[in-house]
Amino acid sequence: MRMPSPTLLLQAGGDRFHAGAHREGVGPLIRLEGRKPVTKKVSTRPFDSADYVNSPEAAAAYIEAALEEGDPQIISATLGDIARSKDLASIAEQTGLAYETLCKSLSADGDPGLTTLLVVLRVLGLRLSVAVDGH
């Protein structure tokens, strides 16, 4: 009985000069079956953590990890990811904030005020709490 030959998949263009091509959505995939290389195009898209925040528990764990880091940019971006996972336009409407303002505030370059932070958390069904630092 002959065993099937193993298949090896290689993602091409992994250096910093070609990485942009993968972010554009198409990157070559080379499949080596035995000794015959076959090239096939594969569609890709950038990673978006908002795609994985699919429950209140996941949202709470994600924002808690960001708060533990203590970096305001990470906290803003994380809150933005969570808001995008739930429909940012709807959150803007429920908070009474302009969509564009909310987008800017909840980005890595944003700096949401405490009022914005608390209102967005409330609309998301989350709340802010404080604990004693163990250090």
Q: What element of type H or E holds 38?
A: strand 36-43
Q: Supply the range of the domain harboring residue 30.
A: 7-43
117 or 25, which is more confident? Answer: 117
Residue 130 maps to a domain: no
Q: Kindly state whether residues 28 and 58 are assigned to the same domain.
A: no
- pLDDT digits 0-9 by tens, 75-88: 999 999 999 999 99
pLDDT at residue 16, as a whole number? 43
Q: Kindly state whether residues 30 and 74 are assigned to the same domain.
A: no
Q: DSSP letter at 27? A: E
Q: Dmax over Cα atoms in the chain, in whole Å?
A: 70
Residue 129 maps to a domain: no
Q: Kindly state whether residues 33 and 96 are assigned to the same domain.
A: no
Q: Kindly state whether residues 90 and 119 are assigned to the same domain.
A: yes
In the chain, the number of structural domains is: 2
pLDDT at residue 129, as a whole number? 87
Q: Kindly state whether residues 11 and 55 are assigned to the same domain.
A: no
- In one-letter notation, the amino acid at residue 69 is E
Q: Kindly state whether residues 36 and 83 are assigned to the same domain.
A: no
Q: Indicate the pTM of the whole model.
A: 0.65
Give the SS3 label for residue 43.
strand
Q: Kindly state whether residues 56 and 29 are assigned to the same domain.
A: no
pLDDT at residue 77, as a whole number? 94
62 or 134, which is more confident? Answer: 62
pLDDT at residue 42, as a whole number? 86
Residue 128 maps to a domain: no
Q: Kindly state whether residues 53 and 67 are assigned to the same domain.
A: yes
- pLDDT digits 0-9 by tens, 7-61: 544 455 444 444 444 444 555 555 555 656 667 888 898 988 888 899 999 999 9
Q: Kindly state whether residues 100 and 58 are assigned to the same domain.
A: yes
Q: Kindly state whether residues 34 and 91 are assigned to the same domain.
A: no
Q: What element of type H or E holds 31?
A: strand 26-33
Query: Is residue 123's pLDDT more than 90?
Result: yes
